[in-house]
A and B are shown apart, each in its own frame.
Chain A
Amino acid sequence: MMSELLAAATLPDSITFVIAAVIVVLGALGVVLNKNPVHSALMLVMTLFGIAVLFVEQDAQFLAAVQVIVYTGAVVVLFLFVIMLLGVDCKETVFADTFKGQRLFAGFVGLCVLFEIIYLGSRNWTTGAPSVAGAVKNQGANVNVIGKSLFTTYLLPFEVTSALLVVAVIAAVVLSRRHDEVPSVIDEELKTTEPTS
Protein backbone atom coordinates (compact mmCIF):
# COMPACT_ATOMS: atom_id res chain seq x y z
CA MET A 1 0.00 0.00 0.00
CA MET A 2 2.72 2.39 1.01
CA SER A 3 4.94 1.40 -1.89
CA GLU A 4 2.03 2.01 -4.21
CA LEU A 5 1.71 5.51 -2.79
CA LEU A 6 5.37 6.21 -3.29
CA ALA A 7 5.40 4.70 -6.75
CA ALA A 8 2.56 6.83 -8.02
CA ALA A 9 3.98 10.12 -6.81
CA THR A 10 7.27 11.85 -6.36
CA LEU A 11 8.70 11.91 -2.87
CA PRO A 12 8.07 15.62 -2.07
CA ASP A 13 4.47 15.30 -3.20
CA SER A 14 3.96 12.24 -1.02
CA ILE A 15 5.50 13.94 1.99
CA THR A 16 3.37 17.04 1.44
CA PHE A 17 0.24 14.97 1.17
CA VAL A 18 0.97 12.97 4.30
CA ILE A 19 1.77 16.03 6.39
CA ALA A 20 -1.29 17.91 5.14
CA ALA A 21 -3.51 14.88 5.70
CA VAL A 22 -2.27 14.51 9.27
CA ILE A 23 -2.89 18.21 9.87
CA VAL A 24 -6.39 17.96 8.43
CA VAL A 25 -7.38 14.92 10.48
CA LEU A 26 -5.86 16.21 13.72
CA GLY A 27 -7.57 19.56 13.25
CA ALA A 28 -10.92 17.91 12.57
CA LEU A 29 -10.57 15.74 15.66
CA GLY A 30 -9.64 18.83 17.62
CA VAL A 31 -12.80 20.59 16.47
CA VAL A 32 -14.94 17.74 17.70
CA LEU A 33 -13.09 16.86 20.89
CA ASN A 34 -12.17 20.24 22.33
CA LYS A 35 -14.40 21.43 25.12
CA ASN A 36 -13.76 25.09 24.53
CA PRO A 37 -15.43 26.49 21.37
CA VAL A 38 -12.56 28.95 20.92
CA HIS A 39 -10.09 26.07 20.71
CA SER A 40 -12.44 24.32 18.30
CA ALA A 41 -12.46 27.38 16.06
CA LEU A 42 -8.66 27.53 16.06
CA MET A 43 -8.49 23.83 15.26
CA LEU A 44 -10.87 24.54 12.39
CA VAL A 45 -8.33 27.04 11.08
CA MET A 46 -5.72 24.28 11.13
CA THR A 47 -7.95 21.95 9.15
CA LEU A 48 -8.77 24.61 6.59
CA PHE A 49 -5.09 25.39 6.08
CA GLY A 50 -4.41 21.70 5.50
CA ILE A 51 -7.20 21.60 2.92
CA ALA A 52 -5.68 24.64 1.23
CA VAL A 53 -2.34 22.84 1.02
CA LEU A 54 -4.07 19.88 -0.58
CA PHE A 55 -5.71 22.26 -3.06
CA VAL A 56 -2.32 23.63 -4.04
CA GLU A 57 -1.04 20.09 -4.31
CA GLN A 58 -3.76 19.36 -6.86
CA ASP A 59 -3.10 22.47 -8.96
CA ALA A 60 -6.07 24.47 -7.67
CA GLN A 61 -4.13 27.54 -6.62
CA PHE A 62 -7.02 29.97 -6.92
CA LEU A 63 -9.23 27.88 -4.67
CA ALA A 64 -6.44 27.54 -2.13
CA ALA A 65 -6.13 31.31 -1.93
CA VAL A 66 -9.89 31.75 -1.70
CA GLN A 67 -10.05 29.04 0.95
CA VAL A 68 -7.53 30.84 3.13
CA ILE A 69 -9.05 34.26 2.59
CA VAL A 70 -12.73 33.37 2.90
CA TYR A 71 -12.64 30.58 5.47
CA THR A 72 -9.84 31.48 7.82
CA GLY A 73 -10.11 35.19 7.15
CA ALA A 74 -13.85 35.60 7.32
CA VAL A 75 -15.78 32.57 8.47
CA VAL A 76 -13.65 31.57 11.44
CA VAL A 77 -13.27 35.20 12.49
CA LEU A 78 -17.05 35.41 12.39
CA PHE A 79 -17.25 32.34 14.61
CA LEU A 80 -14.79 33.83 17.07
CA PHE A 81 -16.70 37.11 16.98
CA VAL A 82 -19.94 35.38 17.92
CA ILE A 83 -18.23 33.38 20.67
CA MET A 84 -16.77 36.59 22.05
CA LEU A 85 -20.08 38.40 21.73
CA LEU A 86 -22.12 35.75 23.48
CA GLY A 87 -19.55 34.58 25.99
CA VAL A 88 -20.62 30.97 25.67
CA ASP A 89 -17.22 29.48 26.20
CA CYS A 90 -17.70 28.22 29.75
CA LYS A 91 -21.27 27.05 30.18
CA GLU A 92 -21.79 24.08 27.96
CA THR A 93 -22.46 20.47 28.73
CA VAL A 94 -19.89 18.71 26.61
CA PHE A 95 -20.61 15.12 25.78
CA ALA A 96 -23.60 14.89 28.06
CA ASP A 97 -25.72 12.17 26.57
CA THR A 98 -29.26 13.34 26.10
CA PHE A 99 -30.47 9.80 25.78
CA LYS A 100 -28.65 6.62 26.59
CA GLY A 101 -26.01 5.35 24.24
CA GLN A 102 -26.16 8.34 21.96
CA ARG A 103 -22.41 8.59 21.51
CA LEU A 104 -22.17 4.90 20.74
CA PHE A 105 -24.91 5.18 18.17
CA ALA A 106 -23.28 8.25 16.65
CA GLY A 107 -19.99 6.41 16.33
CA PHE A 108 -21.73 3.47 14.70
CA VAL A 109 -23.49 5.71 12.20
CA GLY A 110 -20.20 7.49 11.50
CA LEU A 111 -18.43 4.22 10.79
CA CYS A 112 -21.27 3.19 8.47
CA VAL A 113 -20.91 6.48 6.59
CA LEU A 114 -17.14 6.06 6.35
CA PHE A 115 -17.30 2.54 4.96
CA GLU A 116 -20.07 3.45 2.56
CA ILE A 117 -18.14 6.37 1.14
CA ILE A 118 -14.92 4.38 0.84
CA TYR A 119 -16.80 1.49 -0.75
CA LEU A 120 -18.44 3.78 -3.27
CA GLY A 121 -15.22 5.67 -3.89
CA SER A 122 -13.25 2.51 -4.56
CA ARG A 123 -15.20 1.83 -7.71
CA ASN A 124 -15.06 3.70 -10.96
CA TRP A 125 -18.34 5.53 -11.27
CA THR A 126 -17.26 8.16 -13.73
CA THR A 127 -18.66 7.44 -17.14
CA GLY A 128 -19.98 9.37 -20.08
CA ALA A 129 -18.86 12.55 -21.76
CA PRO A 130 -16.93 15.29 -19.98
CA SER A 131 -18.91 18.31 -18.93
CA VAL A 132 -19.17 21.57 -20.80
CA ALA A 133 -16.99 23.40 -18.30
CA GLY A 134 -13.70 22.81 -20.07
CA ALA A 135 -10.37 21.20 -19.36
CA VAL A 136 -7.91 22.02 -16.61
CA LYS A 137 -4.58 20.88 -17.97
CA ASN A 138 -2.56 22.76 -20.58
CA GLN A 139 -5.00 25.67 -20.65
CA GLY A 140 -2.82 28.27 -18.98
CA ALA A 141 -2.93 29.56 -15.43
CA ASN A 142 -5.51 28.21 -13.04
CA VAL A 143 -7.08 31.62 -12.46
CA ASN A 144 -7.47 32.16 -16.20
CA VAL A 145 -9.20 28.83 -16.70
CA ILE A 146 -11.59 29.36 -13.80
CA GLY A 147 -12.34 32.92 -14.85
CA LYS A 148 -13.02 31.93 -18.43
CA SER A 149 -15.40 29.19 -17.39
CA LEU A 150 -17.05 31.29 -14.71
CA PHE A 151 -17.78 34.25 -16.94
CA THR A 152 -18.98 32.29 -19.94
CA THR A 153 -20.53 28.95 -19.07
CA TYR A 154 -21.43 29.70 -15.48
CA LEU A 155 -22.28 33.38 -15.78
CA LEU A 156 -25.88 33.03 -14.64
CA PRO A 157 -25.08 31.06 -11.44
CA PHE A 158 -22.32 33.55 -10.73
CA GLU A 159 -24.78 36.43 -10.94
CA VAL A 160 -27.27 34.55 -8.80
CA THR A 161 -24.66 34.17 -6.06
CA SER A 162 -24.42 37.94 -5.82
CA ALA A 163 -28.15 38.04 -5.15
CA LEU A 164 -27.66 35.29 -2.59
CA LEU A 165 -25.02 37.29 -0.77
CA VAL A 166 -27.24 40.38 -0.69
CA VAL A 167 -30.11 38.29 0.70
CA ALA A 168 -27.78 36.83 3.34
CA VAL A 169 -26.60 40.25 4.44
CA ILE A 170 -30.16 41.58 4.69
CA ALA A 171 -31.24 38.46 6.57
CA ALA A 172 -28.40 38.84 9.04
CA VAL A 173 -29.31 42.45 9.69
CA VAL A 174 -33.00 41.65 10.13
CA LEU A 175 -32.38 38.63 12.35
CA SER A 176 -29.95 40.36 14.67
CA ARG A 177 -32.11 43.42 15.22
CA ARG A 178 -33.67 43.80 18.63
CA HIS A 179 -37.41 43.25 18.65
CA ASP A 180 -38.07 43.36 22.37
CA GLU A 181 -39.02 46.47 24.26
CA VAL A 182 -36.10 46.24 26.64
CA PRO A 183 -33.84 49.17 25.75
CA SER A 184 -30.24 48.41 25.09
CA VAL A 185 -27.37 49.62 27.21
CA ILE A 186 -26.30 52.09 24.59
CA ASP A 187 -29.79 53.61 24.47
CA GLU A 188 -29.80 53.99 28.25
CA GLU A 189 -26.47 55.73 28.20
CA LEU A 190 -27.61 58.03 25.44
CA LYS A 191 -30.66 58.97 27.46
CA THR A 192 -28.64 59.71 30.54
CA THR A 193 -26.06 61.76 28.70
CA GLU A 194 -28.57 63.71 26.64
CA PRO A 195 -31.56 64.41 28.84
CA THR A 196 -32.86 67.25 26.64
CA SER A 197 -33.51 65.02 23.67
Chain B
Amino acid sequence: MTVNASWYLTLAAILFTIGSVGMLVRRNILVMFMCIELMLNAANLTFVTFSRVLNDIGGQISVFFVLIVAAAEVVVGLAIIVAIYRRRVGATADDQHLLKG
Protein backbone atom coordinates (compact mmCIF):
# COMPACT_ATOMS: atom_id res chain seq x y z
CA MET B 1 0.00 0.00 0.00
CA THR B 2 1.54 3.24 -1.11
CA VAL B 3 1.23 6.60 0.58
CA ASN B 4 -1.96 8.54 0.98
CA ALA B 5 -3.48 9.99 -2.18
CA SER B 6 -3.40 13.55 -0.87
CA TRP B 7 0.41 13.46 -0.97
CA TYR B 8 0.29 12.58 -4.64
CA LEU B 9 -2.24 15.32 -5.30
CA THR B 10 -0.14 17.87 -3.44
CA LEU B 11 2.93 16.85 -5.42
CA ALA B 12 0.94 17.19 -8.65
CA ALA B 13 -0.22 20.64 -7.57
CA ILE B 14 3.36 21.72 -6.87
CA LEU B 15 4.48 20.37 -10.22
CA PHE B 16 1.66 22.17 -12.02
CA THR B 17 2.51 25.40 -10.22
CA ILE B 18 6.17 25.18 -11.19
CA GLY B 19 5.14 24.58 -14.78
CA SER B 20 2.73 27.50 -14.87
CA VAL B 21 5.18 29.91 -13.24
CA GLY B 22 7.86 28.82 -15.67
CA MET B 23 5.43 29.42 -18.50
CA LEU B 24 4.89 32.97 -17.25
CA VAL B 25 8.50 33.76 -16.43
CA ARG B 26 10.59 32.24 -19.17
CA ARG B 27 11.05 33.81 -22.58
CA ASN B 28 12.56 30.96 -24.52
CA ILE B 29 9.87 29.25 -26.56
CA LEU B 30 11.41 25.81 -26.17
CA VAL B 31 11.53 26.11 -22.40
CA MET B 32 7.93 27.31 -22.43
CA PHE B 33 7.08 24.13 -24.28
CA MET B 34 8.85 22.10 -21.63
CA CYS B 35 6.79 23.87 -18.99
CA ILE B 36 3.66 22.78 -20.84
CA GLU B 37 4.96 19.22 -20.60
CA LEU B 38 5.43 19.69 -16.87
CA MET B 39 1.82 20.78 -16.47
CA LEU B 40 0.59 17.85 -18.57
CA ASN B 41 2.56 15.48 -16.38
CA ALA B 42 1.06 16.98 -13.25
CA ALA B 43 -2.38 16.32 -14.68
CA ASN B 44 -1.34 12.77 -15.58
CA LEU B 45 -0.19 12.14 -12.03
CA THR B 46 -3.56 13.31 -10.76
CA PHE B 47 -5.35 11.03 -13.19
CA VAL B 48 -3.37 7.99 -12.11
CA THR B 49 -3.84 8.82 -8.44
CA PHE B 50 -7.60 9.04 -8.78
CA SER B 51 -7.58 5.90 -10.88
CA ARG B 52 -6.01 4.08 -7.94
CA VAL B 53 -8.18 5.66 -5.28
CA LEU B 54 -11.50 5.19 -7.07
CA ASN B 55 -10.55 1.78 -8.49
CA ASP B 56 -11.36 2.92 -12.01
CA ILE B 57 -9.30 2.24 -15.10
CA GLY B 58 -10.71 5.33 -16.84
CA GLY B 59 -8.04 7.52 -15.29
CA GLN B 60 -5.25 5.49 -16.80
CA ILE B 61 -6.99 5.46 -20.17
CA SER B 62 -7.18 9.25 -19.97
CA VAL B 63 -3.45 9.40 -19.30
CA PHE B 64 -2.90 7.26 -22.37
CA PHE B 65 -4.81 9.72 -24.54
CA VAL B 66 -3.07 12.67 -22.93
CA LEU B 67 0.26 11.13 -23.84
CA ILE B 68 -0.79 10.75 -27.47
CA VAL B 69 -2.12 14.29 -27.69
CA ALA B 70 1.02 15.64 -26.01
CA ALA B 71 3.21 13.86 -28.54
CA ALA B 72 1.19 15.27 -31.44
CA GLU B 73 1.26 18.72 -29.87
CA VAL B 74 5.02 18.64 -29.48
CA VAL B 75 5.48 17.58 -33.10
CA VAL B 76 3.34 20.39 -34.47
CA GLY B 77 4.63 22.98 -32.00
CA LEU B 78 8.26 22.27 -32.73
CA ALA B 79 7.54 22.40 -36.46
CA ILE B 80 6.03 25.86 -35.94
CA ILE B 81 9.07 26.92 -33.92
CA VAL B 82 11.41 25.72 -36.65
CA ALA B 83 9.38 27.61 -39.23
CA ILE B 84 9.52 30.79 -37.14
CA TYR B 85 13.24 30.55 -36.49
CA ARG B 86 13.93 30.03 -40.14
CA ARG B 87 12.34 33.36 -41.03
CA ARG B 88 13.84 35.57 -38.39
CA VAL B 89 16.56 35.40 -35.82
CA GLY B 90 14.72 35.69 -32.55
CA ALA B 91 15.21 33.41 -29.61
CA THR B 92 12.42 34.62 -27.37
CA ALA B 93 8.67 34.75 -27.47
CA ASP B 94 8.76 38.55 -27.42
CA ASP B 95 10.31 38.60 -30.86
CA GLN B 96 7.12 37.08 -32.24
CA HIS B 97 4.69 39.54 -30.75
CA LEU B 98 3.38 40.70 -34.10
CA LEU B 99 1.20 38.60 -36.29
CA LYS B 100 2.06 39.04 -39.95
CA GLY B 101 4.72 41.47 -38.74
Contact = CB atoms under 8 A, between A and B. Distances in A.
Contacts, number: 258
Contacts of A70: 67, 71
Nearest to A13: B2
Given A126-B54, A136-B52, A136-B57, A165 B68 contact: yes
Contacts of A54: 8, 11, 45, 48
A57 to B, nearest CB: 5
15 contacts: A13-B1, A17-B3, A51-B44, A54-B8, A54-B45, A79-B78, A92-B27, A94-B27, A98-B94, A102-B25, A117-B17, A161-B65, A161-B69, A175-B83, A176-B83
Secondary structure at the A interface, as helix, strand, loop or mixed, is helix
Interface in B22-79: 22, 24-28, 30-31, 33-35, 37-38, 41, 44-45, 48-58, 60-61, 63-65, 67-76, 78-79
Given A25-B14, A133-B61, A79 B33 contact: yes
Given A83-B30, A114-B14, A134-B57, 11 more contacts: A25-B11, A58-B2, A58-B52, A71-B41, A71-B67, A78-B74, A109-B21, A114-B17, A133-B56, A133-B58, A175-B80
A9 B2 contact: yes
Given A4-B4, A54-B45, A60 B22 contact: no
B75 A66 contact: no
Contacts of A37: 28, 30-31
Nearest to A107: B21
Interface residues of A, number: 94
B82 interface: yes
A8 B8 contact: no
A54 B7 CA distance: 11
